[in-house]
Amino acid sequence: MFLAFKEMARAKVRFALLIAAIALLVFLILFQQSLQNGLITGFIGAIREQSAPVLVYSVDGQRVVQGSAITPEMEAQVRTAPGVREVGPIGQGTFTGKPSGNADGETFDTTIIGYELGPDGNGIGAPTTVVEGRLPNADNEAVVSDADVQLGYGIGDSVTLLPGAKSITIVGVAQDAQLNVSPTLFVSYETYLDAIKSVNPDAGTPLPNVLGVVPADGYTAEQTVTSINDQSLDLDALTKDDAAAQTPGVSQVQQSFNIIFLLYGLVVPCVTGLFFLIVTFQKANSLTLLRAIGAPAGRLVSSLLIQVIVIVGAGLLIGTLLYYPVSQQSLGGITLRFETSAVVFWSVLLLSLGVLSSLVAARRVLSIDPIEATTGQGVGS
């Protein structure tokens, strides 16, 4: 250990630059991880955080809520399917909303999700992550996603839908409940229908976009999904987790970020391994001399591994410290969060890869022949 730190003290700039490079890579990896999770949550969070265990789309809707339409015949098939206990219509539309809490008077594309209210605002399709305020228990009341509060959608504020000037009052805030990365309001189904009529009086009464289903006692969500899909080829039932994951665009976003993470994961061990391999060649003569005077190969290798652990560990620590304040911000309507599991995963992975990649340099140390000290050949011959 003395040998490892002594060498690092003699080459402070060289080792400091390597730590800085690893810290920057760690910061970028963790930031991208938060960005991916925030983007996906903003895109389909409302689907994951609503109360219906099963969602039923029309096949033509291609698993897009607003693109789906459930006819009365299809609804009757769902209600009579084995394993179905309760069914509730869910509607979704996009409107131009002007929140009263926005000091600049800005308008935003606002997603409205309507569901049938039950006792205390609960119902099939209600948000399950209310962290402030309450659920709506009457028409013209709404729960908003926490990511939208900063835009002026706070509790007590009202949202005016344009055109038509219909007003909805916000009474609660739900965590991670956005849809389509836009301000999202959960309202009663009647409020949703009134919003459509307000904006377009000639639209008529729209069909429900999807149906929320509660499985009967003794049935799992997966069994209920199978039972509903067996009723008709026009029905596309999914568990809510599958509905969120299989929303068009989600898998493409994940694949794109996974490629970026793979590249990052390869860079750190390559940089670390190459650095120590170069260092080993540069100090070939001193290593040979140490072996000639009796220094065990294991001690030299352990010194090398200690340097790897210290350098990668310092890079991980500094990178995480840089990441923390950034993870508390919002970026273009996307809420970033400190991802503890990602920090642990990448720390273990990068440290392991760094140690493994340095074994190439360790091999050079082990291959040193003490007799070479008398010939001056060193390890670089």
**Boundaries of every domain in the chain:** 2-44+250-374, 49-245
pLDDT of 355 above 90: no
Instruction: Determine whether 340 is exposed, middle or buried from the number of CB atoms within 10 Å of its CB (0-12, 13-18, 19+).
Output: exposed
Question: What is the rounded distance in angstroms from the CA atom of residue 28 to the CA atom of residue 34?
Answer: 10
Specify the pLDDT at position 285: 61
In the block, tokens 């399917």 appear at 81
Specify the pLDDT at position 62: 92
How far is CA 18 from each of CA 12, 234, 305, rounded to the nearest angstrom? 10, 59, 15
The one-letter code for the residue type at 248 is P
> 192 phi and psi, to 5 degrees?
-60, -45
Specify the pLDDT at position 190: 96
**What element of type H or E holds 162?**
strand 158-162
Q: Which of 138-147, 205-214, 360-369 has the lowest mean pLDDT?
A: 360-369
126-143 average pLDDT score: 95
pLDDT of 5 above 80: no
SS3 113: strand
Tokens of 267: 């860079």
Secondary structure of 296-351 as H, E, C letters: CHHHHHHHHHHHHHHHHHHHHHHHHHHHHHHCCCEECCEECCCCHHHHHHHHHHHH
Predicted TM-score of the model (pTM): 0.80
162-182 average pLDDT score: 92
Question: What is the rounded distance in angstroms from the CA atom of residue 79 to the CA atom of residue 201?
Answer: 31
Segment 42-90, tens digit of pLDDT: 999 999 999 999 999 999 999 999 999 999 999 999 999 999 999 999 9
Segment 276-329, tens digit of pLDDT: 667 666 665 666 666 666 667 667 677 777 878 888 899 999 999 999 999 988
Specify the pLDDT at position 379: 47
